[in-house]
Structure 1
């Protein structure tokens, strides 16, 4: 099922796949990437769902924002979904996109029917030492310098450094990653940490009455995979680990990731 609509809604770039009359599934990407990161898993999802991919502010084809705090980004996403006249949506967030999805459910329980978190670390203490290429790109003093001279090969290594399996990084994703500024990326990372340091994601989910799928790669080098068990304390959470998969299940195991999402939504009547 190909892309049949790409537009801007409430200031953010939105791409639609699948039949519009099908149950809506909103896909939210993680820090520094874009909606293109979901590309390999979209075809299987679009067979049964109206798939809505967004580029968060300052990412992909969406313009920068004045603020990147998690609740504020969730509010922008809510306004876009309202403008699209979508309701009773499933929201799936990858990595820090899971924080935006959680904040959306906190703000708009009337809008979010079900929630899926993929490779979303529960709290700051679950963060592992990062691969060298990411440390070089993210942290000063090298980060700002390398950011200006990033090659396509370097950007691809930045993505594959957190993957367990060999992956092909889509060209569109490389282009989108190139577009984010160093200052924006660093700000986004700080705001994400503030959100989960204030209250862990499992604690936040425990206050919500929404079915949750938590999907982790069992070999995730970014977030400690064993931390996934912390989500098990949430009454409505279903936790799954994908063997031999790293931080990007959508790129590393799109078939398994898609089937897990579809099975979860089917069980929830979606």
Structure 2
């Protein structure tokens, strides 16, 4: 479906029983809601799964200028409003995980629980992001593809990894840079001490993007957060380690039921 939210027309896939607990899935920079398809196929049996294309990505509208974590969080909350969802479980990978943190900090009453996957409180360094954004502005996302894919995936030659590369190449340069600005400008201080939702942090065993220190800082910032590893997983495990991610996500919901 398509939903008009202010200045942007956003695309969203909704599946699962209308009466089931809502589960919002937020994707990473340079990809689309499609990366969640393997998980949604399982989770939609028990949840109302909501998969938006973030602003500037997939079939959602590309709007000019820098995006921010606050504005992307407001997009997600506005989408939930239109869908009539008062509260939701929220899972996000990389950028999506940081947006999920922002939502939990700014609108805690809307969050049933958090699943933060291969993400962090902030994403240094600003000069690195500025350099990437300049390259993308000149050449498009092809400027990043060769360097990014070994960081996103464990085996870049797999069909699923080649699919992620295609998603990146199809991402509009303005949309990519808008989201990159949100990552560049994200500050830990904006969320530290403000997140109270039940939370599980999932980290790919072979994620080379998020260092251990960043994972430790994230866990320390969220009271009671659990930590689990996706065996063998890289930075974006949704396709390459689909079953392991589903298992880890299911473990989060099992813990909620038994706690």
Question: TM-score over 0.5 for the alignment?
Answer: yes
What is aligned with 1:191? 182
Give the conservation status (yes or no) of the 8 Å contact 2:32–2:57.
Answer: yes
Structure 1's 165 and 173: CA in aligned 2 closer, same or farther, altered over 3 A?
A: closer
Q: 1:70 aligns to what?
A: 69
CA–CA separation in structure 1 for the residues paired with 2:245 and 2:26 = 15
Determine whether 1:15 maps to 2:13.
Answer: yes
Query: Partner residue of 2:229?
Result: 241
The CA deviation at 1:160 is 5.1
Q: Distance in 2 between matches of 1:187 and 1:64?
A: 9
| Map 1:119-130 → 2, pairs under 5 A | 119-125=118-124
**RMSD over aligned Cα atoms:** 3.0
Q: Deviations over 1:38-61 (max 9, x none)?
A: 122221211211111011111100
Deviation at 1:172, TM superposition (A): 7.4
Aligned to 1:162: 152
Report the equivalent of 2:80: 81
- Single out whichever of 157-166 and 61-70 deviates more from structure 2: 157-166
The unaligned stretches of length 5 or more in structure 2 are: none
Query: Does structure 2 conserve the Cα–Cα contact (< 8 Å) formed by 1:121 and 1:227?
Result: yes
CA distance in 2, matches of 1:170, 1:15: 22
1:174–1:19 Cα change, 3 Å: farther
**What is the aligned partner in structure 2 of residue 222 from structure 1?**
209
* Residues 8 and 139 of structure 1, relative CA distance in 2, 3 Å threshold: closer
Q: Residue deviations 1:87-130, cap 9 Å, x none? A: 220011110111211111222222111111111123335x7xx9
Matches within 5 A, 1:126-137: none
Instruction: Quote the residue 1:256 is aligned against.
Output: 244
Q: Say which SS state the counterpart of residue 210 (structure 1) adopts.
A: coil
1:113 equivalent in structure 2: 112
**Alignment CA distance shift 1:193-1:155 (3 Å):** closer
Q: TM-score, normalised by structure 1?
A: 0.80
Asked if 2 retains the 8 angstrom alpha-carbon contact of 1:60 and 1:177, the reply is no
Moved over 6 A (4+): none
Q: Which runs of 5+ in 1 are unaligned?
A: 1-5
